[in-house]
Amino acid sequence: MDEHVRQALRRLPGVDELLAHDELAPHLDRYPREHVVEALRAALETARGRLLSGEYPETWGEITSVPTIVREAGRLLESWARPHLRRVLNASGVVIHTNLGRSTLAPAALERVVEVARHYNNLEYDLEAGVRGSRHDHVAELLTRLTGAEAALVVNNNAGATLLMLAGLAGEGEVVVSRGQLVEIGGSFRIPDIMRMSGCRLVEVGTTNKTRIDDYRAALTTDTTLLLRVHTSNFKVVGFTEETSIAELVELGREWGVPVADDLGSGALVDLPAFRDEPPVTASLRAGADVVSFSGDKLLGGPQAGILLGTHDAISRLKKHPLTRALRVDKMTLAALEGTLQLYRDPAAAVREIPTLRFLDRSPAETEALAAELLAALEARFAAAGLEAPSHVEPSTARAGGGSLPLLELASHAVVVRPGPGVVVSLEAALREASVPVVGRVAQDALLLDVLALESEELPLVAESVAWALARSRCMPDCDPAPEVDAGAAGGGADA
């Protein structure tokens, strides 16, 4: 090792010396002493690494200085204390963003969660009879009243619901599915894999683009136990295509005494213009599907859940299957789902109160006004901080996301920020580090902040984070130009 580096390493302060330093006092007030010591050791290790990695000798004084090491330790302490799962601002223009938690909950649904989670409750207690009850009863009646289904069952998510439909209805028999519907949903959920897992045998029929009822008919044997339709929710085959309708499948199933299951994926319960390509849940039930399944946190706008609706017979077979216990939903999910479904009793209230529906129903005039508001907030922040970045409002194309409505282009608006050549990459990185991170879109040298999935109360917070990130990105990597905002204070009514 270079003798100069050795000398620089010897100049690093010791932990005891650092602990005695005035600059460390605020940290010792806030965090347990062992955590501070651990952070100092880690910060010293970082400094050692920098000295050994061949950084210029001019920087060594700075690297080994007490303020640098204390600042690094402070950063570590803060990041250890901060929750890992936390709020972000969705300026991506993707409403049901699976990476960002899909649907946000309506205030009424949140209230239900808080009451039920905060207190003991009747999760499995029948208040009328004073005996043990079933957690499945809380939302079943509401679901059947809203959809006309005979019976309902809720499990942990729709992947689980699909698995349960296959295991519970098909057993070890043959399940006939169109080749055009052997989809992959979100990385690791593939229909053929889930079939294998459930123990049934997959019988593929038709071709990628065309499957007719006669293809199903030709595949039926005495081992056939289920006809399955899967809504190809996250892609579209266009051009020369043909799919068999659920009504035709039901007719064939009745002829042969084989049940029909329909994995709808997204599950639309209201009629929005944006939903015109989405098969309505009620249409499948009316057509006579024995069981349909869909997600709670896609177009329904509720919590993560898998909702199963169908005949008394099919649903009671599923309830008795051991997988139902393994896939059972938590009380917080049930509370959020009940709170969400209650809103659907008045469809206009559902669209008004459920954020996912409200965002998907926003008009271009509304998004233009929101974008203008964001632009004004941003320009005020930039001016206050002495920052400059040309910004303007532009029409933008937003998406439903969450594997729903893949072709749907939602007319929205975005604030376009041009931070200067080459800065946008570090700006985007800094936005992820802000105390309330912002997820936008990067297009060439510009940052696009789409307003479609932002609450109007969130706009000042977006402006705050973007201004902080812009200041930071201009003097990367070590400066800290603006105090981080307090999300609670700056968020205004967003959490109310």
Ligand X SMILES: *Cc1c(COP(=O)(O)O)cnc(C)c1O
- In the complex, which residues of this chain contact ligand X (CB under 6 A)? 157-159, 162, 185-186, 189, 230-231, 233, 263, 265-266, 295, 306, 403
Strand partners, 306: 155, 295
Q: With respect to ligand X, which residue has the nearer C-beta, 98 or 122?
A: 98
The one-character DSSP state at 65 is S
* 3-class DSSP state of 234: coil
Q: With respect to ligand X, which residue has the nearer C-beta, 15 or 283?
A: 283
Closest separation between CB of residue 16 and ligand X, Å?
Answer: 52
Q: With respect to ligand X, which residue has the nearer C-beta, 163 or 469?
A: 163
Rounded Cα–Cα distance for residues 204 and 206 (Å) = 7
The one-character DSSP state at 167 is I
Closest separation between CB of residue 256 and ligand X, Å?
Answer: 24
CA distances from 392 to 214, 324, 362, 371, 417 (A): 56, 52, 20, 9, 7
Closest separation between CB of residue 296 and ligand X, Å?
Answer: 7
Rounded Cα–Cα distance for residues 93 and 87 (Å) = 17
Q: With respect to ligand X, which residue has the nearer C-beta, 266 or 391?
A: 266
Closest separation between CB of residue 228 and ligand X, Å?
Answer: 11
CA distances from 59 to 56, 62, 64, 65, 427 (A): 6, 5, 9, 10, 25
Closest separation between CB of residue 201 and ligand X, Å?
Answer: 20
Burial class (CB in 10 A: 0-12, 13-18, 19+), 125: middle
Q: With respect to ligand X, which residue has the nearer C-beta, 183 or 415?
A: 183
Closest CA to 220 of 262, 249, 183: 249
Q: With respect to ligand X, which residue has the nearer C-beta, 233 or 426?
A: 233
Closest separation between CB of residue 189 and ligand X, Å?
Answer: 6
Rounded Cα–Cα distance for residues 157 and 315 (Å) = 16
Q: With respect to ligand X, which residue has the nearer C-beta, 302 or 339?
A: 302
Closest CA to 312 of 170, 152, 155: 152
Q: Which residue is nearest to ligand X (CB)?
A: 265
For the chain, how big is the Rg over CA atoms in Å? Answer: 28
Pairing verdict, β 89-90 and 438-439: parallel
Closest separation between CB of residue 303 and ligand X, Å?
Answer: 10
Q: With respect to ligand X, which residue has the nearer C-beta, 153 or 451?
A: 153
Closest separation between CB of residue 403 and ligand X, Å?
Answer: 5
